[in-house]
Structure 1
Amino acid sequence: MKAVVVSKAGSPEVLELIQRDIPKIKPDWTLVKVMGFGINHSEIFTRQGLSPSVTFPRILEIELVGLVEESSDRQRFPVGQKVVSIMGDLGRAFDGGYAEYALVPNRSLYTIETDLNWADLAAVPETYYTAFGAMKNLKIEAKDRILVRAGSSGVGQAFAKLVRSQFPDMNLVASVRNLAKEEQLLTAGFSKTILEKDGRLQTQETFTKIFELVGPATIKDSLAHLEEDGIISSTGQLGGKWYLEDFDPIEMLGDNVYLTTFASGNVNQVKLQDMFDYINIYDVPVSPEKIYTIDQIQTAHAYLESKESFGKIVVLNHQEV
C-alpha cells in the first residue's frame, strides 16, 4: 500500500510517500480501507515537531473514513461496513490515516449511516464534529447574534454551514486578519466580516454568542464583546497559545456570561450519528474546498499552511472514488 511517513520534524518535504506492507489484523483492532481523510492543523503541528508525545517515524492523521477490510469484531464491524475514526490517539500514539489502509483500535472506530459521497464524507469527521459540538454547547436560538473568531478556518466555515442551514436568517459574523477573504466568507454563509488586528476586534459591536477558535490568545478580547447572559465556546487554539494566563473568573465572567468549550475527543456512536442525521435533515453543504490525492500530500500541507488557505481540504484514496 501507499503510505506517507514522517521520519523527522520539518517542512512539508518530510512527508515521504513510500510503499509499505498492509498492517496485519490483531485482537481488538480493525483494518480499514481508507477511502479519504481531511487534513488538519494539528497534523501540521505534529509534522513540525510541536507534539511532544509523538515520536517519529509516524504515519500522521487523526481522522479517516473508509470501509472495513477485516476486523477482530466481525459482528460490530462486518466487511464492507462504512466507518469513521476520530481522535483516540490515531496518528499520534500509533500510525494514522495517511495511507491506503490503516489499523484502528475498535474503541476508536464508529459505524455510520450516511449517503454522502467519499469526498464530502472525508470533509466531515473532525471538522464538523467539533463545530457541531460547539454549536450545541452554545445553545443557539434564532434571535442570536453570533461571532466566529477565525471564520476562514475549516472549523469556522463548518460552523457557519451548520448554523445557517437551520437558521437561514441568523446574524452570523466572522472575524478575520485579512479582509481579502471577505467575499469567500460571505459566500460561505457569513453575514459580514470584522477585521482583527493584534488580537483585538476592530469594532465596538457585541454578540450573544461567540465561537472562539483563536483560543486563549484572544479570549479576554472576546469576553469584552459578549453581552450579558452570553456564551463563549473556546474550542480552538489557532492563536498558538495553549493556556489562559492572569485570568480572574470573578472579574472576567462577572457580567453573567458563560465560558465553555467542546473537545472532539468527547465522542461516541450516538453523538456522531446525531451529527450525520443533522447534516441530512438540514441538507448541510459539506463539500471540501480542495481535493488532493495521497501523492499530493506535500502540496496539500503547503496549501493549508499558506495565506491562501480557505476551508476544508481532503485527500481521497483508491480508484473507486
Structure 2
Amino acid sequence: MRAVIADGKGGPEVLKVVDLPVPKPGPGQLLIKVRAAGVNRADVMQRQGLYDPPDGNAVLGLEVSGEVAGHGPGVTAPPIGTKVVALVASGGYSEYVAAPAGQVAPAPEGVDLVDAGGIIEVAATVWSNVFMIGQLQKGQSFLLHGGASGIGTMALQLARVAGARIATTVGSDSKVKIARALGADLVINYREEAFEEVLADHGFVPDLILDVVGAAYLRRNVEILGVGGRLVVIGLQGGQLGEMPIGNLLYKQGSVHATSLRARTLEEKRSIVRATTDALWPLLASGTVRPVIAHRHRLAEVSEAHRAIEDPEHIGKELLVVH
C-alpha cells in the first residue's frame, strides 16, 4: 500500500510516499480502507521531530474516514464495507490503517465521506476539552485562541450551539470574517490588538479559555480568567516554558489543564469518541454544524497539504484523499 512517512526531520519536503505492507488488524482492531485523512498540527510537529507517535509507527496521520476492510481477533462488527471514521495514534496517511474498534464510529450522516476524514480528531479534541474538561455551560463566557483553525472552526460552532458567549483571537481580516460567521460574538485580530485589552473594554471575563499557544499566552490567560475559571491548554505554538502568576490563580480559585488526545489511554479515547459522536453526529446530520474544509489533496501532494496548514492565512481543515 501507499503511505506517507517523514524521511528525516524538517520541512514539508521530508514527507515521502512509500510502499509498505498492508497492516494486519490485531486483537480488538479493525482494518480500515482509507478514503481520506485529516491533516493536523500534530502531524506538522511529528514531521519536525517534536511529537513522536506513542506506538512507534512512522506513518503520519491521526484521523481517517473510509470503509471497514477487515476484523482482528475478537472483533466481528461492524460488517465489511461499513462507512466509518476512526481516531488513530498514527498511520492515517495511508491506503489502509488498523484502528482500535473503540475508536471507530459510523461515518456521520449529512457529510461527504471525504470531508468526514477531517472530523473525528478535531471533534473529539473540542468535545473532550471544552465540554468534558472545561464544562462549558449555557450563558458562560468562552475565549478561544485560534478561531479559524480546524479545531477553532469546530469549537466556535459547538460553543454557539451550547449558548455560550464567545470571544476568539485570529490573525487576519479574512479570519475575522469566518469567525464571526461561525458564531463568535467578539473577534480580535491579535496582530493588531492586545486581546486582554479588548476583552476588558467589552467587559468580557472568560469562564473558560481554550488555548493552542502555550507559553507565550500563559500569564495573560491566567490574568484575565474569571473566578472559578478554567484554562485548558492543548497546544504549544507559542513555546513550552512560560511564567504563571500562581497567586492570581489561587485568588480566583481557577484551574489550568494541559491535555493531549493522542497520549490518552485506549479506554479514555473510546469514551471520548462515544461521547463526541453522541453529541455531534445529530448536529452534523441536521446541518447545524459543518466541517470547514480548506482544500483536498491527493496523497502524493502531502507536502503541499503541510505547506497549506502552515500558511498564516490558513482556515479550516486540509484533507488527503487516498481512495
- Shared fold, TM over 0.5: yes
The equivalent of 1:18 in structure 2 is 18
The question of 1:312 aligning with 2:317 is answered yes
Which TM-score applies when normalising by structure 1?
A: 0.83
User: Residues 222 and 248 of structure 2 are in contact (CA less than 8 Å); yes or no, is this contact kept in structure 1?
Assistant: no
- In the TM superposition, 1:1-321 aligns within 5 A as 1-51=1-51, 58-72=58-72, 73-87=74-88, 90-91=89-90, 96-106=91-101, 109-112=103-106, 114-115=108-109, 116-136=111-131, 137-167=133-163, 170-179=164-173, 181-196=175-190, 201=195, 202-205=197-200, 206-209=204-207, 210-241=209-240, 245=243, 248=246, 250-260=247-257, 263-264=260-261, 265=264, 266-268=268-270, 270-279=274-283, 280=285, 283-318=288-323
Deviates more, 1:63-72 or 1:224-233: 224-233
Change (3 A) 1:30 1:143: closer
Q: Secondary structure at the match of 1:38?
A: strand
Pairwise CA distance, 1:9: 1.4
Offset from partner CA, 1:195-237 (integer Å, 9 cap, x none): 4369953435232322222224312211222222333322333
Q: Secondary structure at the match of 1:118?
A: coil
Equivalent position amino acid for 1:183 in 2: K
Q: Secondary structure at the match of 1:152?
A: coil
Equivalent position amino acid for 1:181 in 2: K
Equivalent position amino acid for 2:84 in 1: V
Change (3 A) 1:24 1:130: closer
User: Residues 36 and 314 of structure 1 are in contact (CA less than 8 Å); yes or no, is this contact kept in structure 2?
Assistant: yes
Change (3 A) 1:226 1:13: same
Q: Secondary structure at the match of 1:190?
A: coil
Structure with greater proportional helix content: 2
Change (3 A) 1:278 1:233: farther
Q: Secondary structure at the match of 1:229?
A: coil
Change (3 A) 1:113 1:150: closer
Which TM-score applies when normalising by structure 2?
A: 0.82
For 1:8 and 1:231, the matched residues in 2 are separated by: 38
For 2:252 and 2:192, the matched residues in 1 are separated by: 25
Offset from partner CA, 1:154-191 (integer Å, 9 cap, x none): 21121001122343xx5321113444532232223322
Offset from partner CA, 1:20-70 (integer Å, 9 cap, x none): 443344544432101111111111111112235679982111222221111
User: Residues 176 and 189 of structure 2 are in contact (CA less than 8 Å); yes or no, is this contact kept in structure 1?
Assistant: no
Offset from partner CA, 1:123-158 (integer Å, 9 cap, x none): 211111111222213333332232211222221121
Where does the alignment leave 5 or more consecutive residues of structure 2 unmatched?
none
User: Residues 31 and 97 of structure 2 are in contact (CA less than 8 Å); yes or no, is this contact kept in structure 1?
Assistant: yes
**RMSD value, Cα:** 2.9
Equivalent position amino acid for 1:226 in 2: L
Change (3 A) 1:172 1:39: same
Q: Secondary structure at the match of 2:68?
A: strand
Give aligned pairs, total.
307
Where does the alignment leave 5 or more consecutive residues of structure 1 unmatched?
none
Identity %: 22
Offset from partner CA, 1:264-307 (integer Å, 9 cap, x none): 33422532432434534672122422222212211100111111
Deviates more, 1:40-49 or 1:289-298: 289-298
Equivalent position amino acid for 2:206 in 1: T
For 2:29 and 2:185, the matched residues in 1 are separated by: 45
For 1:192 and 1:199, the matched residues in 2 are separated by: 13
Q: Secondary structure at the match of 1:182?
A: helix
